Amino acid sequence: MKRVVILGGGVAGTLTANYLVPKIKERIKNEEVQITLISDRNFQIYEPGFLYLIFNRLGEGELKRNLGELLDPAVQLVIDRATKIDADNSRVVTENGSYDYDYLVIATGSRVVPEEIPGLKEGGHWFYNLEGATRLREALAKFNGGKIVVSVMGIPHKCPVAPMEVTFILHDFLRRRNLRDKTELLYTYPINKIFTMDPVVELVQPMFDERGIQYKTFFNPIEVDAKNRKVITLEGEEESYDLLIAIPPHRGAQVIIDSGLGDKGGWVPTDKYTLRVDGYDNMYALGDATNLPVSKAGSVAHFQAEVVAENLAAEIEGIEPTAMFNGKAFCFIETGWEEATYIWFDYFTPPRPVLPSKFVHFVKMAYNKAYWLTARGLL
Amino acid sequence: MEDKTQELVEKLLENQDTIEKILEKIILLEKTGALDTLADLAAFVKVAQDTLSDEIIKKNSELITNLGLVSAKFTSDNALMLIDAIGDAICRCDKEPEPVGLTGLLKAMNDPDVKFALGFLINMAKALGRALRERA
């Protein structure tokens, strides 16, 4: 019997499992193949929802679903924390056991490490995990005017457009609460422009100007002075704040670092087209876990899962795998409380944002609820 | 005013190819009557845009999503086989039901078809128990 082990119960892991099952269902039924998904929690969180949770537009309960509800019933679900990938012996070791595999899919995602910027935990907020988002929701509800700094403190980070989105929504949130006149809003980005992609900069920068949103580039925070409420940068600048919304540095999963499989950020070196882990024929990696020069976004994991599932199915059937990932990403960009645009791009095509509209915002709001159909492999 | 006209002419000349293509399309739409339909559709889209709200979108998407998630399981091979078999049973079962007591029930259990269905129900109960425990 061939054993496929999928490590991670986020978008990447769940979708790979759900796409793979229908392709090899006869073999699973005849017990020739077993698919095991290992996740350290029995639920999945829809992380893009944090952007709405902080403004109290979505609640915690709306962002969670049981993995049992999302996974194809033919997948064996194991709730356990993986502690080591023993790649030489094709085995995943967990806190409570071990799992041998013929094929391993690494879908271990990414995590924020605010502790890497001294003072950030004490002096700042973030919305890139549930705990941070609920804390920021409270701070925003209490905010009465002053200076808000939205600061990207490391690249790569999840959902690259989210810092711009949160800035736009903040602008409208403050207007709706009659606080915009009393608030200075500053957005900072580490490189020489406000975003990595020029077509997005061309759309967003004039919109920032129209709204009186200030921005600073080449701004690389190295420390937060929590007591005096100041951000200190590598470039020698100091920026004061009343409320700091940081996008903290991100790292790969601990199990990747502990297994010696990651680069210095904990990202798994992966082939950008085949999604095979460099140096291993029986390992694929996808989603946030990889070192690929693509966005760390759910849509990327989604498009990659199609490729990994197709290639795994081919290998199981004894056919040469030929599916290739072309770098596709799709991102909605909220440009206010109720208007949005979107971009899609791949390795060969630059993004071309459409004019922001209420309809695109509605589609995004609908997708916030309908995402679970994507996780199930239906949308 | 003259400057504005000049600007307009320049813009038209600059985009001559694009404008010709657009005009061709609009003329075709008008000739086929589709332009009126498009205008009606635009009004419909505008009504939707003006009356929809985040809350309505959320509620409806949630409803459709839940139906979708459930339907994914009810369209598996096994589920389709069961639903199909139930359909056959309903169609074939045209006899008037007779009241059945404990003796009748025991007698019915000798019937090979009833035995087979009971076996299926016991398998179902086992799988249901497991699924419920997994969600507990």
Task: State whether ipTM is beyond 0.90.
Answer: no
* Rounded CA separation A348/A195 (Å): 19
pLDDT tens digits, A197-255? 999 999 999 999 999 999 999 999 999 999 999 999 999 999 999 999 999 999 999 99
**What's the DSSP call for residue A74?**
T
Cβ-defined contact of B73 to A73 (cutoff 8 Å):
yes
Q: What is the model's pTM? A: 0.89
Residue B1 has a pLDDT of 58
Residue ranges for chain A with pLDDT beneath 50: none
Residue B40 has a pLDDT of 92
Residue A162 has a pLDDT of 98
In chain B, residues with a C-beta closer than 8 Å to the C-beta of A373 are 65, 68-69
- List the pLDDT tens digit at each of the 136 positions of chain B: 578 999 999 999 999 999 999 999 999 999 999 999 999 999 988 888 888 889 899 999 999 999 999 888 888 888 888 899 998 888 888 788 888 999 999 999 999 999 999 999 999 999 999 888 877 7
Residue A282 near residue A101 (C-beta atoms within 8 A): yes
Per the omega criterion (within 30 degrees of 0), is the bond before A156 cis?
Answer: yes
Please give, rounded to a whole number of angstroms, the shortest distance from the CA of A222 to a CA of chain B: 39
Nearest to B69 among A367, A368, A372 (CB): A372
pLDDT tens digits, A170-185? 999 999 999 999 999 9
Cβ-defined contact of A68 to B60 (cutoff 8 Å):
no
* Rounded CA separation B66/B87 (Å): 25
Please give, rounded to a whole number of angstroms, the shortest distance from the CA of A302 to a CA of chain B: 17
- Residue A38 sits at φ, ψ, to 5 deg, of -105, 125
- Residue A44 sits at φ, ψ, to 5 deg, of -120, 145
Chain B: residues touching A (Cβ < 8 Å): 45, 49, 52, 54, 57-58, 60-62, 64-65, 68-69, 72-73, 76-77, 131, 134-135
Tokens for A221?
Answer: 């925070």
